[in-house]
Amino acid sequence: MAAPLLEVRDLVKHFTISGGLPLRKGRTVRAVDGISLQLAAGETLGLVGESGCGKSTAGKCILRLLEPTSGAVLVNGDDISTLGRGALRKYRRAMQVIFQDPYSSLNPHMVAGDIVAEPMLNYGIGDAASRRARATELFDRVGLRAEQMAKYPHEFSGGQRQRLGIARALALNPDLIVCDEPVSALDVSVQAQIINLLIDLQQEGNLSYLFIAHDLAVVRHISHRVAVMYLGKIVEMAPTAALFRRPQHPYTEALLAAVPVPQPKRKRRRALIAGDVPSAVRPPAGCRFHTRCPHAEDRCRVEEPVLRELSPGHFAACHLRTG
């Protein structure tokens, strides 16, 4: 089998708390604590979890917008996690990003056309005229009009801004786009448009998405496979259909049970878990979920479960499930 487009091995990102009270100094926040995943060309991997579970941090580490503490990020088999600034630029072309907030992710002082053309300018692609032609093409592709190129970001609506962000990400013909909650800041009706645009774009080219989100309905719609994160770890990873039909990890079960059902008369199961996510400064010993897990046993409090393949392609990290 050829090397996957993206492979992440034991990615770790710890933040050290500096400043503040002397007692708290030097503590580390274990935002991402050893995650591994693979992404094939043309595939969408959904990365879900509660806020603060490290999913965005993981995305930024993969893009090297943050420096990973340890672990490897392989793009087409080449490790980019230790490359210097110059060498990294070559790989940046292959992976782009779409941010959550369509307002702060566009420079307010630049017009839309320049924002979309900037990536091409950065890599010296074509001359001014051809870049303009390509920007026009991209505008058309994401559903914006060419005459809007002279407008400033604040003149666009939220959905249009996100389309701009997508056009910018497409400018370099990337293989992979990390979508960091690309629709959670948008209205529901606009969400659907953007999601469908992303799906269309994937079918045209051979695009891969690492789709970070907390909205399970959205993730289910767009992803081929889904990885569930909890406190910096991946607790379950499976093809979308399998994960939603037969969740193996108690946390995934709880997440699925929490999804609102658009049928008011149908009885819903009681919330399976209570309490908040424990602090990532001092994650619980053993299984990180044991403090909230309804099925926790003694073993869960001591021994940390590893991610095991329960059925082909279906991984879960739980002592209580056997293949």
Residues that bind other proteins (CB under 8 A): 60, 63, 65, 85, 89, 92-93, 95-97, 99-101, 104-110, 118-119, 122-123, 165, 168-169, 171-172
Distance (Å, whole) CA 262 – CA 104: 33
Write down the least CB distance from residue 301 to other proteins, Å: 38
**Exposed/middle/buried for residue 154 (C-beta within 10 Å: 0-12, 13-18, 19+):** exposed
Write down the least CB distance from residue 176 to other proteins, Å: 11
Please identify, using beta-carbon distances, which residue of 93 and 220 lies nearer to other proteins. Answer: 93
E-strand spans in 90-232? 95-98, 176-180, 208-213, 225-230
Write down the least CB distance from residue 122 to other proteins, Å: 4
Give one DSSP letter per residue of 286-308, joined into a string.
SSTTTTT-TT--HHHHHSPPPPE
Query: If DSSP codes are grouped into helix, strand and coil, which group holds residue 199?
Result: helix
Query: If DSSP codes are grouped into helix, strand and coil, which group holds residue 34?
Result: strand
Contact 294, 272 (CB under 8 A): yes
Please identify, using beta-carbon distances, which residue of 37 and 169 lies nearer to other proteins. Answer: 169
Please identify, using beta-carbon distances, which residue of 98 and 228 lies nearer to other proteins. Answer: 98
Please identify, using beta-carbon distances, which residue of 98 and 310 lies nearer to other proteins. Answer: 98
Write down the least CB distance from residue 132 to other proteins, Å: 17
Please identify, using beta-carbon distances, which residue of 139 and 230 lies nearer to other proteins. Answer: 139
CB neighbours (10 Å) of residue 169? 24
Distance (Å, whole) CA 126 – CA 269: 58
Contact 218, 191 (CB under 8 A): yes
Write down the least CB distance from residue 99 to other proteins, Å: 4
Write down the least CB distance from residue 313 to other proteins, Å: 30
Write down the least CB distance from residue 77 to other proteins, Å: 21
∠ CA 157-123-128, rounded to 5°:
70
Write down the least CB distance from residue 82 to other proteins, Å: 18
Please identify, using beta-carbon distances, which residue of 99 and 251 lies nearer to other proteins. Answer: 99
Please identify, using beta-carbon distances, which residue of 93 and 295 lies nearer to other proteins. Answer: 93
Q: Please list the alpha-helical segments (H only) found in 205-249.
A: 216-222, 240-245
Beta sheet of 95-98, edge-to-edge order:
95-98, 176-180, 208-213, 44-48, 225-230, 233-239, 314-316, 308-311
Please identify, using beta-carbon distances, which residue of 60 and 292 lies nearer to other proteins. Answer: 60
